[in-house]
Structure 1
Amino acid sequence: MPKSVYKGKIDPDIDMTGKTVIVTGANTGLGLIAAIDLAKRGARTIMACRNLEKGKQALDEVNEKSKSSNVTLMELDLSSLESVRKFASSFLEKESRLDVLMNNAGVCMCPYTKSVDGFEMQFATNHLGHFLLTNLLLDILKRSAPSRVVTVSSLSHRIGGKVHWNDVNLTNNYTPAKGYGQSKLMNVLFSRELAKRMRGTGVTTYSLHPGAVKTDMQRHLGNIPDPNCSDRMWGCFGGCIRPFFKDPETGAVTQLYCAIAPELENETGRYYSDCRVATESSDGRNDEYAERLWTMSEKLVGLSK
């Protein structure tokens, strides 16, 4: 294991006092565990949550377990570009630095729905929302350098993950697995292109597979209404193996490793699993796809014409 990891946990002596971090989706699962850990280390921890009622309960838990008085809850719905812009504007008004942006939130294998902006929900939440958020915060990340952007992807990007360039909203022949695989491949490509664009700025970027983790993300497994046979098999398989998934405390280790391990300070653009460099799919290593996705995403979120 890397030297920052001991018995499945990150070295407790790594101090984050004086640093500011944002964790999206911090009210449950991996995000909640990450927020507790970072707050324990002294970081000013911003919990970015869609549901403020659940967020307040999670905030109480983070405060209690971390014994920190420097944790803040802010509203962020990544499926809404307006909400992302409001969050970024509010954060920039209040905060003077950002050392770690942890793009953790996501939806998994959900039935076909569209976001308020008209995008397929997994595409909107897992990719476009984090893409816009990161871009709106790049200046403060640069000013705070060395800083890091950590994006939670999934091994699913290798299992049928494909960008459907001519139908990114998957209006034809949608399946939950197809939507999830596409969005998780986009996470890898986004991190890869971001690393290229941030070289020399002190901003480093990482994507990762946390492992099969037992969280609320899997609530749709085993209950997939789509008639597609492969998705029924995926849902049944997922429902059967879910009892053997990692607990969130174990699952969050890799994203924490990417966020704070000192030995990664000069690494960027790589993909990790179990706190080690892993191999992306061939599409995930495609620089042409990474640049194409970036250009397309800029237009869709209104950062370019």
Structure 2
Amino acid sequence: MMKDKIVIITGANSGIGKAAALKFATEGYRVIMACRNLKISTAVQHDIMETTKNTNVDLMELDVSSFDSIRTFCAAFKAKYPRLDILIHNAAYLNHGEKEYKLSPEHIELSFATNTFGPFFMTRLLADHLAKSPDPRVLHACTTNIKNFFDPKRKIEFDNLRGEYKGKRAYSTYKMYGDSKMALLMLTFKLAEEYKHLGIKVNAIQINRVKLSKETIEKMHSFWKVFAHFQNLTNPLPAGMADNYFHICTSDTFKDTTGQLINHKKEIVKPSISEKGFVQLKNIFGSTTYPKYAINPQNVEQIWKLSITLTEN
């Protein structure tokens, strides 16, 4: 029975996360909406239960950027539920127009705290509950923004993730967002290896364009506002990507798939063979390859060790 299947979705009160919560609830799953803003989320929770007639939609407070909040959430979840079948790391931090370098409660750059280290820490704390499921799956929401790493000059600022150069080095919320999502992709590969013996599958989905909310567009600079409004005319609704979340996390197609990046067409994306000339253009404008930066052993080991160090302190 689907009502016995338990799924956690972070950032489930808006956008793709809300659409995914609605999809899983419609299909009869027990849905745990893990959200930071309970005031907004309560209304969404009630709307989902009313729409789907599924009363097994739980709302639990979680700020993914805070390790203390993650500890509290995971302890409360484990006390309430016998296991976890699906964990979807959908919540992300990208504050359009933000010019200030911000730190999390643990003094980690906010994009990385929310998009990288938070999901990593949460998965590790819930691994024992995931292992109790007959088919445990973890999904990371990635982005086409990682294509910026096809530029050989692009690097993650490992030396500036704790405010080391705050105020001294140019800050871009878009660069930090892309860097943090590249780091999340690398952790996807590493976590898949780490938990393979427990049967836990860990994959990432590359989010393509979706319709942006009016609130999101309002935060943008004038040129990008116009561009976003224009794109929204053809951008698909979040429901389409939510269907992809559901398919990857429940279908037999991906039952044995782990350590992969999957695109919006539900195809497995491969590392690029070449990043020069015409092939590079195909890399940038296509959706079948990701930058070799993501599988560089030195890069992967660096983000893995840093993740362990930050979350074990």
Q: TM bucket by the smaller chain? A: 0.7 to 0.9
Gap regions ≥5 residues in structure 2: 270-288
CA distance in 1, matches of 2:13, 2:217: 19
CA distance in 1, matches of 2:197, 2:214: 36
Which of 268, 277, 293 is the aligned partner of 2:268?
277
Instruction: Return the letter of the residue paired with 1:58.
Output: V
- 1:74 equivalent to 2:63? Answer no
1:120-139 to structure 2, matched below 5 A, reads: 120-139=109-128
Q: Which moved more, 1:278-287 or 1:137-146?
A: 278-287
1:59-138 to structure 2, matched below 5 A, reads: 59-110=45-96, 111=98, 112=100, 113-138=102-127
Which of 156, 173, 178 is the aligned partner of 2:175?
178
TM-score by length of 2: 0.83
User: For residues 165 and 236 of structure 1, do their structure 2 counterparts lie closer, same or farther at Cα, with a shift above 3 Å needed?
Assistant: farther
CA distance in 2, matches of 1:72, 1:222: 30
CA distance in 1, matches of 2:225, 2:309: 34
Note if contact 1:31-1:104 (Cα within 8 Å) is conserved in structure 2. Answer: yes
Note if contact 1:106-1:217 (Cα within 8 Å) is conserved in structure 2. Answer: no
CA-CA distance at 1:235 after TM superposition: 7.1
CA distance in 2, matches of 1:238, 1:197: 39
Which of 30, 33, 43 is the aligned partner of 1:47?
33
Aligned twin of 2:309: 299
Gap regions ≥5 residues in structure 1: 1-14, 225-231
Note if contact 1:210-1:255 (Cα within 8 Å) is conserved in structure 2. Answer: no
TM-score by length of 1: 0.85
User: For residues 215 and 239 of structure 1, do their structure 2 counterparts lie closer, same or farther at Cα, with a shift above 3 Å needed?
Assistant: closer
Q: CA offsets, 1:145-187, max 9 Å, x none?
A: 4200001010101224642122234632211111111011012
Note if contact 2:7-2:85 (Cα within 8 Å) is conserved in structure 1. Answer: yes
Aligned twin of 2:276: none
CA distance in 2, matches of 1:179, 1:292: 17
Note if contact 1:79-1:121 (Cα within 8 Å) is conserved in structure 2. Answer: yes
Aligned twin of 2:194: 197
2:60 aligns to what SS in structure 1?
A: strand
RMSD: 2.2
- 1:245 equivalent to 2:235? Answer yes
Aligned twin of 1:34: 20
Note if contact 1:221-1:236 (Cα within 8 Å) is conserved in structure 2. Answer: no
Instruction: Return the letter of the residue paired with 2:161.
Output: V
Note if contact 1:123-1:169 (Cα within 8 Å) is conserved in structure 2. Answer: no
1:105 aligns to what SS in structure 2?
A: coil
- Between Structure 1 and Structure 2, the one with more helix by share is 2
Instruction: Return the letter of the residue paired with 1:68.
Output: N
CA distance in 2, matches of 1:218, 1:188: 28
CA-CA distance at 1:290 after TM superposition: 2.2
Q: CA offsets, 1:113-142, max 9 Å, x none?
A: 222222221111111111111110011111
2:9 aligns to what SS in structure 1?
A: strand
Note if contact 1:79-1:125 (Cα within 8 Å) is conserved in structure 2. Answer: yes
Aligned twin of 2:245: 255
Count of aligned pairs: 282
1:16-27 to structure 2, matched below 5 A, reads: 16-27=2-13
CA distance in 1, matches of 2:247, 2:207: 11
How much identity, in percent, do the aligned residues show?
30
Aligned twin of 1:58: 44
Which of 256, 279, 284 is the aligned partner of 1:266?
256
1:138 aligns to what SS in structure 2?
A: helix
